[in-house]
Amino acid sequence: MLKRLLAAFVGVLLATAAHAATMEDEVKAVFDKYVATQNAHDLKAMRGLLNDAPDFLWISRGNPIWGREAALKSLEERYKGTWHIEPDRKEVRVISVSRRVAQVFAQTQLTVGEPGAEPAKNRLYINMVMVRKPEGWRITSILPILVPPQ
């Protein structure tokens, strides 16, 4: 009886660990696609990554942008200039909030500039929340925090 109970307990632990690793891998893969899509200035691919909901939130330059379409419109303007994201891959962390919600924390360098202007490099902490939908993981908020120069 004790052996069966112990075997069941070990099985549950292994299944939980496998789920966590899979979730982390899936979320990191979506984050990697987000970075590649941003750097390619690919609005069509970005549309597929962002949650299509009125409560999608992106804080940009200290201002809230609500909804996927508003975010895509803003990105369309930003993509006319310099817009390049470079996360520190060693520092990307996935926090499991629930089976269907994950937070990503990434130390990132954002190079941004208006067309024809010298781009600026900013260090950011990107905080991103993703939700698991039937079609896969979707980004539901992007909350960057500017890191002051040191």
Q: Which CATH architecture has domain 2-146?
A: Roll (3.10)
Domain map of the chain by residue range? 2-146
Report the alpha-carbon angle 126-122-89, nearest 5.
50
pTM to 2 decimals? 0.83
Please give the distance of CA 144 from its chain centroid, rounded to a whole number. 10
Is residue 148 a contact partner of residue 125, using CB atoms and an 8 Å limit?
no
Chain segment 107-132, per-residue pLDDT in tens: 999 999 999 889 999 999 999 999 99
Report the amino acid identity of residue 128.
M
Q: What is the structure's pLDDT at 148? A: 86
Using 50 as the pLDDT threshold, list the residues of the chain that sit under it.
Answer: 5-20
